[in-house]
Amino acid sequence: MPELPEVEVTKQGIEPFIQGKAVTGVIIHDGRLRWPIPKNLEKILLGQKVSQIKRRGKYLLFRMDDGHLIIHLGMTGVLRLLKPSDELKKHDRIEIFFGKQVLRLHDPRKFGAVLWASDESGEIEKHPLIAKLGVEPFSDDFSDACAGQHLHLHAKGRQIAIKQWLLAGQAVVGVGNIYCSESLFSAGIHPEMPAGKLTLPRAKKLASAIKETLSKAIKAGGSSLKDFVNSHGDPGHFMLQTKVYDRAALPCRICKTPIKQIVQGQRSTYFCQKCQKR
DNA sequence: AGCTCAACCTGGCTGC
DNA sequence: TGCAGCCAGGTTGAGC
């Protein structure tokens, strides 16, 4: 479920309600996520206040008194703020209490992560999981003025298919599997083109396609995802109509050519052979 | 350094 | 209805 837009919407939905609140308890129901949830997390977090929530790529960074609580939703994670009396669901992995509210991570596939990074261990930007991430798509580092050049420079010399290169997130973060296919379609770029062949004009086009795709999705998430606060319904999978993703053999919305599905780096890619050029 | 690929884990869907 | 097989929004880490 979570690509960057969902993570951003989660952040925006939760932050106003727990900002300034102190942790009053932690219950780990099943800590066997991507990495084990630290067993002493309750001891660490108890009494610490959340001053803000930042998002870096698909990571949520809760700024606490003595460090950062890092949460990643993986493939299937959902984070919601509920009442402690609300019924616990199967696959709820951890609860973090803030007085009369509780933050619950629901994650069937356990690809998510809940970690602690103390201030003593260094700046959060230098944390091993954060340090090598590409630039944020909505930051000054990816402004309309420089985003094209940024992509162009990063892609230089790379032989890897542009789809896999973009998905890897080393140039720009947050372009997951769905929005990767969508952005390449919007930019008219064939997913199998070697990244190094990206010209500056096409890089500029790709950069604006990425930003537009993601911002539309954030808006859609903001309006169609139920709130993350006191919401019992499963938000499920809310995408606006996609242009190519999950549309194998269906007609291209522009030229009617059947959409092709291929596998690249163990992930599905969807594209239009006529609209997208190498 | 760049690239490929297995692995982590559960559930839902398809087809026999 | 049951069961095997395949697929799924992410990311690391091993190995070449």
Q: Does A163 lie in the same domain as A121?
A: no
Per annotation, catalytic residue among A11, A56, A58, A163: A58
**Angle at which helices A4-18 and A200-224 pack, to 10 degrees?**
50
Q: How far is CA A275 from CA A72, A125, A204, A254, in A?
A: 35, 39, 18, 8
* Boundaries of domain holding A264: 140-271
**Residue with tokens 């996609």, as numbered in its chain:** A242
- A58 catalytic per annotation: yes
Q: Does A50 lie in the same domain as A156?
A: no
pLDDT in the model for residue A223: 58
Three-class SS state of A100: coil
CA dist., res. A18 & res. A102, Å (int) = 10
pLDDT in the model for residue A45: 98
Q: Does A115 lie in the same domain as A199?
A: no
φ, ψ for residue A183, nearest 5 deg:
-70, -40
Element (H, E) at A69: strand A67-72
pLDDT in the model for residue A238: 54
Q: Which residues touch strand C (CB under 7 A)?
A: A 1-3, 6, 34, 57-59, 72, 74-76, 109, 111, 128-129, 167, 169, 176-178, 236-239, 266-268
* Helices within A138-273 (DSSP H only): 147-155, 162-168, 177-187, 200-224
CA dist., res. A47 & res. A133, Å (int) = 31
CA of A2 to C1' of B2 (A): 28
Nearest to A58 by CA among A113, A99, A106, A13: A113
Q: Does A170 lie in the same domain as A263?
A: yes
Three-class SS state of A38: coil
> Taking a C-beta distance cutoff of 8 angstroms, is the pair A95, A29 a contact?
yes
A236 — alpha (psi -120 to 50), left (phi > 0) or beta? left
Tell me if A131 is assigned to some domain.
no
Q: Does A42 lie in the same domain as A158?
A: no
Please count the structural domains in chain A: 2
Tell me if A267 is assigned to some domain.
yes
The stretches in chain A having pLDDT less than 70 are 1, 222-240
AA letter at A62: F
CA dist., res. A133 & res. A253, Å (int) = 33
pLDDT in the model for residue A228: 64
pLDDT in the model for residue A241: 84
pLDDT in the model for residue A220: 81
Q: Does A266 lie in the same domain as A145?
A: yes
pLDDT in the model for residue A221: 76
- A267 catalytic per annotation: yes
CA of A147 to C1' of B3 (A): 25
Which nucleotide is nearest, taking the CA of residue A264 and each C1'? B4
Q: Does A249 lie in the same domain as A151?
A: yes
pLDDT in the model for residue A236: 46
Tell me if A135 is assigned to some domain.
no
Partner residues linked to A261 by β-bridges: A270
Per-residue pLDDT tens for A61-82?
Answer: 999 999 999 999 999 999 999 9
CATH number, residue A265 = 1.10.8.50
Tell me if A235 is assigned to some domain.
yes
Tell me if A22 is assigned to some domain.
yes
